[in-house]
Structure 1
Amino acid sequence: MAILDKLKSAEALAWRGICIENPECHFCQEKHESTRHLFFECDYSYNTLIRLIPALQNFLLRPNVSQALDFIGGLPGENRKRPLNLLLFNAIIYHLWRERNNRRFKVTAKCSITLAVEIAKEVRLKMSNWKYKENSMFSC
């Protein structure tokens, strides 16, 4: 849904004629909330991303969701890590959206480091069920 811009961000709701009280990003409170801003123009989401997948900080400009997926799929010499990186990236997107919703509706907030550690724990747990256990290749 993030790739297709189908998430109900403030920008998407406004485009459908639904106005909300606070259209600002719930992470940085500086720019209008859009899918592109949430993933990964916002400093909060970008810091979470590069903490878990440091290779993505090598972009000249911050990547969007499609660019990051293409990059992860084409990392040279990283075929063994591709499933891990894809799982990790999907977990990042999911948790960022969930954190956004928690900030918007439950008025709770986590710092980007805490969120990254939480994502890493969940990915490690998921990896523990994989056939080949290469947990040593993942550290946060």
Structure 2
Amino acid sequence: MGSWMWRKLIKMRDIARSFHKKKLGNGRNTSFRYDNWSEKGVLITYLGERGIVDMGVIREATVEESIMGIRRKRRHRSMLLNDMEEMLKSVKEKLRAENEDVDIWRREAGYKSKFSTQETWMIMRIAEVKCSWSKSIWFSRATPKFAFVAWLAVKDRLSTMDRISKWDCGVDETCVLCKSEKESRNHLFFECDYSSKVWEHLTKGILVSDYTNDWLRILTIISSDHMERKKVFCLRYAFQATIHVIWRERNKRRHDEKPLPVGAVSRMIDKGIRNKLSILRSGGVKGWENGMKFWFSTPKLKVCIDEKATSMNSMKKGLHLM
């Protein structure tokens, strides 16, 4: 592990200390100075080095040694130290020779004897307002690379030309797919004449009267909990697959590669969705025996396919990348 990682871990020491305490039994395995065992917290922090010395406690002393084995002063000039002496009296009465000291860990319901990584993370993290669209991106059986690109799109973190123009003035912001409008996230998905035809081909038969190519309305629809399981899965998967392929096609054109027509892209995504449904069925995933039947039952709008512009090699390459 690199030295930079160790430096980062060392910076977390104070946070780590706040999650650990010692529950006293006989006090033999608990450091008087450095362990968090008292109601005052870690005593080296509470009293400081000078305060510990004034109490007559040596550096390596355990709680048992500090309370039982050392002749203690009864009065100090400092009220703080006098309060500590009173606390130690009450601790002395509670020590039990037959009981071992126990490590306890901070949990959501208080300190417990078992450590939980999940609860520790949930306590440490800064909780954000739960977004309504999370279930439409991170759902069971999603394809990770599709989900990742869709997540970037939802967060508006893809390098669309409207964002690039903010740090590179003078760039051509025209959409390379339709060559008529300024490229933005909402335009590319799916207001663009090119991408809207692909989206309409795949989803209008499922959405029927609810069909839309408006970004925010699409997110609302696919985030709904009130749709039948196969319908919502196919919509979410089509949404992610379409974003992934359209983004790839956009990047290809930006780098002057041979473009694919609308029909070829539509067929490529359709084939990818059918492959996914076939995998779910053949894999014995419960409830997906008729998944392919549902997809075929939704009518697909025909799109104009320029056969001359689409070679079999480009189609095979596209399906491989899916």
- The alignment's TM-score, normalised by the length of structure 2, stands at 0.39
Q: Is 1:89 matched up with 2:239?
A: yes
Alignment RMSD (CA, Å) = 2.2
Highest Rg: 1 or 2?
2
Distance 1:86 1:60 in 2: 14
Structure 1 residue 123 corresponds to structure 2 residue 280: no
Letter in 1 for 2:157: K
Cα distance in 2 for partners of 1:35, 1:80 equals 27
Aligned counterpart, 1:63? 214
- Could you tell me which of 184, 188, 192 is aligned with 1:42? 192
Alpha-carbon shift at residue 103 of structure 1 (Å): 1.1
Deviation at 1:78, TM superposition (A): 2.8
Are 1:137 and 2:294 counterparts?
yes
Alignment of 1:92-111 (within 5 A): 92-111=242-261
Contact map agreement 2:175 2:183 (CA 8 A) in 1: yes
In 1: Cα distance, 2:207 partner to 2:182 partner: 24
Secondary structure class of the residue paired with 2:264: helix
Identity of aligned residues (%): 28
Q: 1:20 to 1:129 in 2, by over 3 A?
A: farther
Q: In the alignment, which residue of structure 2 is the partner of 1:5?
A: 156
SS of corresponding position for 1:25: coil
Unaligned runs of 5+ in 1: none
2:229 to 58, 61, 79: 79
How far does the alpha carbon of each residue in 1:84-120 deviate from its partner, in whole angstroms, 9 at most, with x for none?
A: 2211110011111011011111422112121111001
Structure 2 alignment gaps of length 5 or more: 1-151, 301-322
- Higher strand residue share: 2
* In structure 1, distance between residues paired with 2:196 and 2:208: 9
1:57-85 per-position Cα deviation (integer Å, ceiling 9, x unaligned): 74697411x42122133385533321122
Give aligned pairs, total.
138
Q: 2:203 aligns with which of 37, 42, 53?
A: 53
Question: Does structure 2 conserve the Cα–Cα contact (< 8 Å) formed by 1:69 and 1:86?
Answer: no
Bigger relative contact order, structure 1 or 2, given CA contacts below 8 A and separation 6+? 1
Q: Matched residues in 1 for 2:247 and 2:221: separation?
A: 21
* CA distance in structure 1 between the partners assigned to 2:210 and 2:180 by the alignment: 23
